[in-house]
A = this chain, B = another copy of it.
Amino acid sequence: MKGILLFAALALAGPAPAQDRSPNEPSPSEIVTAAPDGDWAEIAPDDLLVMELAQGRDTGKREVVIQLIPPPFSQGWVDNIRTLAMAHWWDGTSVYRVQDNYVAQWGLGEDKQPPEWLKEVPEADYAPFWPGARKTSDSVRRLRERWWKSDPYAAEVDFVDGFPVAEGNRQQWPVHCYGMVGVARGTGDTGSGADLYAVIGQAPRQLDRNIALVGRVIEGMEYLSSLPRGHGELGFYTKDEARKQMPILSVRLASELPEKSRPRFEYLSTDSESFAHYANARANRHDDFYKVPAGGVDICNVPVPIRRVEPAK
């Protein structure tokens, strides 16, 4: 019985077994596995934020790793975040809001005020000017044309330096996909970066250009997405639920950690042919399980492949 169960379930999520498919149609994960090392790019230790949550009885260590977004996006807020991490400012704060199909939010406790010396960043930085130049090769561009159909929110969407972005009106901006990390803010301000959220549901793209995105979770996402939901307004934990707040033990830049214990990650270069093939396979899967290829794919349904690599020796 167990064999059938597993088989049925494997089939739901994955490609059909390799021997049943045409060798001409590798699955997305097969394409990623076959990508040459040259198509992978290392993430700089200054761009990695390591957040350690309280240990669970069941889970052992719970580490969430965030990749900060590269220029030209959100660098004022990213600078603030690096400063806060180096000041160990988040140690002892908590995840205090979890709203189903929306966000998990952390940072500022009731009795902690963000430092006054953080940068104020203008709204204009949500969506910087973009001259319209592309650095992708012709072959990659041709492949892309096979999988981008359209986007419900923007004139164009693309990937830039490993991040999903949208374009229009000579602007380019990062988009709110699952796992993306943004800066919580009030009305009339742009937020400092002291309070952050991660998207744990359907991409809330209405927030694009209205709030700063500063990175994405690349490991340990489940420690945020499976937290108990809060039942106060908008997913805040109520007073009675206060003990559900997940304590944050520490947040560090990987570059602060001793070289031997630094986690190291690579992402599949979004300018590579491997990535274009991978995205194309996500848009046009066709095998014994996927009998009707979608013929298109949402920008948020092409998660950028990430892999952990061995620490330096």
Contact = CB atoms under 8 A, between A and B. Distances in A.
A202 B113 CA distance: 34
Contacts of A58: 228, 244
Interface in A243-268: 244
Interface of A: 1-2, 4-14, 16-17, 20, 58-59, 96-103, 105, 108, 110-113, 123, 126-127, 148-153, 177-179, 184-188, 191, 195, 197, 201-206, 208-211, 221-222, 225-229, 233-236, 244, 282, 285, 288-292, 294-301, 303
A210 B152 contact: no
A185 B11 contact: yes
Given A59-B228, A153-B294, 4 more contacts: A8-B184, A101-B303, A201-B201, A226-B228
A127 B292 CA distance: 11
Given A8-B191, A11-B187, A298 B149 contact: no
Q: Majority SS of interface residues in chain A?
A: loop
B12 A184 contact: yes
A209 B292 contact: yes
B185 A12 contact: yes
Given A6-B236, A9-B105, A187-B20, A222 B229 contact: yes
Contact of A178 (B187, B201, B228, B301): B201
A230 to B, nearest CB: 10
Given A185-B12, A229-B226, A234-B13, A153 B206 contact: no
